[in-house]
Amino acid sequence: MRPGLRAQKVVLVGDADTAIRLGSGDVRVLGTPRLLALAEEVTVAAVGPHLDEGRTSVGTRVELEHRAASPVGMRVTVEAELLEVDGARLVFGCTATDEHGTVVGTGRIERVVVDRERFLARLPH
Protein backbone atom coordinates (compact mmCIF):
# COMPACT_ATOMS: atom_id res chain seq x y z
CA MET A 1 0.00 0.00 0.00
CA ARG A 2 1.36 3.40 -0.91
CA PRO A 3 0.18 7.02 -0.77
CA GLY A 4 -1.32 8.35 -3.96
CA LEU A 5 -3.97 5.67 -4.48
CA ARG A 6 -7.20 7.34 -5.64
CA ALA A 7 -10.81 6.65 -6.42
CA GLN A 8 -13.83 8.71 -7.34
CA LYS A 9 -17.56 8.36 -7.75
CA VAL A 10 -19.99 10.60 -9.57
CA VAL A 11 -23.58 10.72 -8.31
CA LEU A 12 -26.69 12.56 -9.35
CA VAL A 13 -28.38 13.76 -6.16
CA GLY A 14 -31.77 12.06 -5.88
CA ASP A 15 -34.59 12.15 -3.37
CA ALA A 16 -33.08 9.21 -1.44
CA ASP A 17 -29.90 11.27 -0.89
CA THR A 18 -31.59 14.27 0.71
CA ALA A 19 -31.38 15.56 4.25
CA ILE A 20 -35.14 15.33 4.60
CA ARG A 21 -35.16 11.64 3.56
CA LEU A 22 -32.17 10.79 5.78
CA GLY A 23 -33.57 12.58 8.83
CA SER A 24 -30.66 15.01 9.03
CA GLY A 25 -32.61 18.12 8.09
CA ASP A 26 -35.80 19.32 6.44
CA VAL A 27 -34.60 20.38 2.98
CA ARG A 28 -34.25 18.55 -0.36
CA VAL A 29 -30.47 18.83 -0.68
CA LEU A 30 -27.66 16.29 -0.38
CA GLY A 31 -27.68 15.18 3.25
CA THR A 32 -24.48 15.14 5.24
CA PRO A 33 -24.90 11.43 6.15
CA ARG A 34 -25.04 10.60 2.42
CA LEU A 35 -21.98 12.75 1.69
CA LEU A 36 -20.12 10.88 4.43
CA ALA A 37 -21.21 7.49 3.07
CA LEU A 38 -20.00 8.47 -0.41
CA ALA A 39 -16.65 9.62 0.97
CA GLU A 40 -16.20 6.34 2.83
CA GLU A 41 -17.21 4.41 -0.28
CA VAL A 42 -14.46 5.99 -2.37
CA THR A 43 -11.84 5.32 0.32
CA VAL A 44 -12.81 1.65 0.22
CA ALA A 45 -12.64 1.67 -3.58
CA ALA A 46 -9.17 3.27 -3.52
CA VAL A 47 -7.55 0.52 -1.44
CA GLY A 48 -9.78 -2.52 -1.91
CA PRO A 49 -7.99 -3.87 -4.99
CA HIS A 50 -4.64 -3.52 -3.18
CA LEU A 51 -5.53 -5.57 -0.09
CA ASP A 52 -4.29 -9.13 0.30
CA GLU A 53 -6.81 -11.97 0.30
CA GLY A 54 -8.67 -12.13 3.62
CA ARG A 55 -7.91 -8.50 4.48
CA THR A 56 -10.30 -5.57 4.59
CA SER A 57 -10.30 -2.06 5.94
CA VAL A 58 -12.59 -0.59 8.57
CA GLY A 59 -13.32 3.05 9.28
CA THR A 60 -12.00 4.45 12.55
CA ARG A 61 -12.11 8.25 12.30
CA VAL A 62 -13.88 10.86 10.19
CA GLU A 63 -13.64 14.63 9.90
CA LEU A 64 -16.07 16.10 7.37
CA GLU A 65 -16.92 19.67 6.49
CA HIS A 66 -20.10 19.96 4.43
CA ARG A 67 -19.51 23.34 2.80
CA ALA A 68 -22.21 23.84 0.16
CA ALA A 69 -25.71 22.60 -0.58
CA SER A 70 -26.40 20.38 -3.60
CA PRO A 71 -30.03 20.22 -4.73
CA VAL A 72 -31.78 17.19 -6.21
CA GLY A 73 -30.60 16.81 -9.79
CA MET A 74 -27.08 18.17 -9.16
CA ARG A 75 -24.13 16.02 -10.21
CA VAL A 76 -21.52 15.63 -7.45
CA THR A 77 -18.08 14.02 -7.78
CA VAL A 78 -16.57 12.58 -4.62
CA GLU A 79 -12.84 11.80 -4.65
CA ALA A 80 -10.46 10.22 -2.16
CA GLU A 81 -6.69 10.04 -2.13
CA LEU A 82 -4.59 7.95 0.21
CA LEU A 83 -2.30 10.50 1.88
CA GLU A 84 -0.54 8.49 4.56
CA VAL A 85 0.21 4.87 5.42
CA ASP A 86 1.32 4.19 8.99
CA GLY A 87 1.46 0.43 9.41
CA ALA A 88 -2.14 -0.74 9.17
CA ARG A 89 -3.49 2.83 9.50
CA LEU A 90 -4.56 4.57 6.28
CA VAL A 91 -5.29 8.31 6.09
CA PHE A 92 -7.31 9.73 3.20
CA GLY A 93 -8.14 13.20 2.00
CA CYS A 94 -11.61 13.51 0.47
CA THR A 95 -13.20 16.21 -1.66
CA ALA A 96 -16.68 16.53 -3.12
CA THR A 97 -17.27 18.97 -5.97
CA ASP A 98 -20.48 19.79 -7.81
CA GLU A 99 -20.89 20.12 -11.57
CA HIS A 100 -20.17 23.87 -11.36
CA GLY A 101 -16.83 23.33 -9.62
CA THR A 102 -18.11 24.36 -6.19
CA VAL A 103 -16.46 22.44 -3.37
CA VAL A 104 -19.35 20.75 -1.60
CA GLY A 105 -17.31 19.09 1.11
CA THR A 106 -13.84 18.22 2.31
CA GLY A 107 -12.67 15.72 4.82
CA ARG A 108 -10.18 13.33 6.25
CA ILE A 109 -10.99 9.68 6.81
CA GLU A 110 -8.88 7.11 8.63
CA ARG A 111 -9.22 3.39 8.09
CA VAL A 112 -7.33 0.42 9.51
CA VAL A 113 -6.45 -2.72 7.57
CA VAL A 114 -7.56 -5.85 9.44
CA ASP A 115 -7.81 -9.58 8.94
CA ARG A 116 -11.51 -10.03 8.07
CA GLU A 117 -12.04 -13.35 9.90
CA ARG A 118 -10.22 -12.25 13.05
CA PHE A 119 -12.18 -8.99 13.07
CA LEU A 120 -15.51 -10.79 12.70
CA ALA A 121 -14.58 -13.40 15.34
CA ARG A 122 -14.19 -10.65 17.96
CA LEU A 123 -17.75 -9.37 17.52
CA PRO A 124 -20.21 -10.03 20.34
CA HIS A 125 -22.53 -12.97 19.67
40 has catalytic annotation? yes
The one catalytic residue among 18, 43, 66, 97? 66
95 has catalytic annotation? no
- Start-to-end C-alpha separation, the chain: 33
Query: How far is it, in rounded angstroms, from Cα 30 to Cα 120?
Result: 32
Query: How far is it, in rounded angstroms, from Cα 79 to Cα 8?
Result: 4
97 has catalytic annotation? no
The one catalytic residue among 32, 56, 77, 106? 32
The one catalytic residue among 18, 40, 81, 97? 40
Sequence-ordered strand ranges (E) for the chain: 6-12, 55-66, 75-86, 89-98, 103-115
Active-site residues, by number, are 32, 40, 66
